[in-house]
Structure 1
Amino acid sequence: MGVYKTVLELIDLRSFSNLWYWIMLGVMWSSASHWVLGVPWDMITKAQRQPGQAQTDALDLTRINIDRMLDIIETSGLWLMGFAAFMITGLGMLAFWYWVEFAQALLLLVAPLGILVMMSVRRARKVRLLLDQWPVVYIQLRNHRILVQLLGMISIFITSMFGMWQNMMIGAPF
């Protein structure tokens, strides 16, 4: 019993005080910022610097990813939105009605991703109409990346403030 207690003291299993949660949060927003509508940012910047084949490849990949995303949204978007709303509502109830820390942590990861999906669908519909004009597509992709980074910064800030508050309150006697 002593070894088990020692291991649990060394590895904190609460969500907001767990290093792996914060690593996952950083990796999630870093990946979201790198993959702009499914196209890697380094490919977009290479296409901007080197017209020709790199630009054609970036436009093709952008078209493929946008068509795929919008096809999924058009065929099953309503079902996906209903399921996502159900899951986020359930997490919200567990997080703030029953005050389950794991649900709070999960909600602070998942809810901003819902906003990101809505932003991406809206931008994909815009870009679909402009796929023959690379300079305009580049501006749209760059602006989308900036908005994703802004959303990520806001999300990380809110999550860190709530996580610090949660960690301070756990030890407080009530």
Structure 2
Amino acid sequence: MSLVYQLIDLRSFSNLWYWIALAFTWSRAAHWILGVPWDMVQRARRVGGPAELDFQMLLRANLNRIGYISQVAGTAAVAIVSALLTSLAMLGFGYGVEFCQALFLIVFPMSLVGLMSLRMAHWIDAAGVEGAALHRALAWHRVRVQALGLVSIFITAMWGMLQNLNLSVLY
């Protein structure tokens, strides 16, 4: 029976599905910039015309949605996310629950991406950025999201390796 448990390891950091979910999460975060797929931003920049119009309409709809949600439910969302992150951090790092550590290492950086996106959305609305300046702003936002993803994946990998090494010493 112990051979079966060794073959099917359900711990988070040694589970292939966790790493697939982590890669998928960051891939999606870097592809969807303020709710607009990155290929649509590139096509609008290259082709213009109808592609630019479609891009502008989708971005405007998403900016309006982000603005509305932040006004209506902003305080409640901050409270809920803060409570969730605090609970995951306490259970994970305070009490040593590996699953909560794994979730925290995905959810916390994603909350930072959310804050960065909210800030970018408000800036675009307030400054009235359009055209090439808008494309550059979204490109820089995407680079920042990718950089945060790179750092996050590195920290998660190092923490995961440390957890796996610590557990391998016990067995």
TM over 0.5: yes
Encode CA deviations 1:59-101: one digit per residue, 9 max, x unaligned: 1100101110111011001001001000100111101110110
Q: TM-score, normalised by structure 2?
A: 0.95
Report what 1:143 is aligned to: 140
Instruction: Among all aligned residue pairs of Structure 1 and Structure 2, give the percentage whose two residues are the same amino acid.
Output: 44
Match of 1:128 in 2: 125
Please give the per-residue CA displacement for 1:41-69, whole angstroms capped at 9, x wherever unaligned: 00000000001110011011001011101
Task: State the Cα RMSD in Å.
Answer: 1.4
Deviations 1:139-169 (A, max 9, x none): 1111110000001000000000000001000
- For 1:17, the equivalent position in structure 2 comes to 14
Query: How many residues of Structure 1 are paired with residues of Structure 2 in the alignment?
Result: 171
* 1:48 matched to 2:45: yes
CA distance in 1 between counterparts of 2:128 and 2:45 reads 14
Give the 3-state SS of the residue equivalent to 1:16 in structure 2: coil
CA distance in 1, matches of 2:48, 2:129: 14
**Residue 160 (1) aligns with residue 165 (2):** no
TM-score for both structures, normalised by structure 1: 0.94
SS for the counterpart of 1:17 is coil
> Counterpart of 2:28?
31
Q: Which runs of 4+ in 1 moved over 4 A?
A: none
Unpaired stretches in structure 1, ≥5 consecutive residues: none
CA contact (8 A) 1:39 1:62 kept: yes
Q: Which stretches in structure 2 are left out of the alignment for 5+ residues?
A: none
Q: Secondary structure at the residue paired with 2:156?
A: helix
- CA distance in 1 between partners of 2:92 and 2:167 (Å): 15
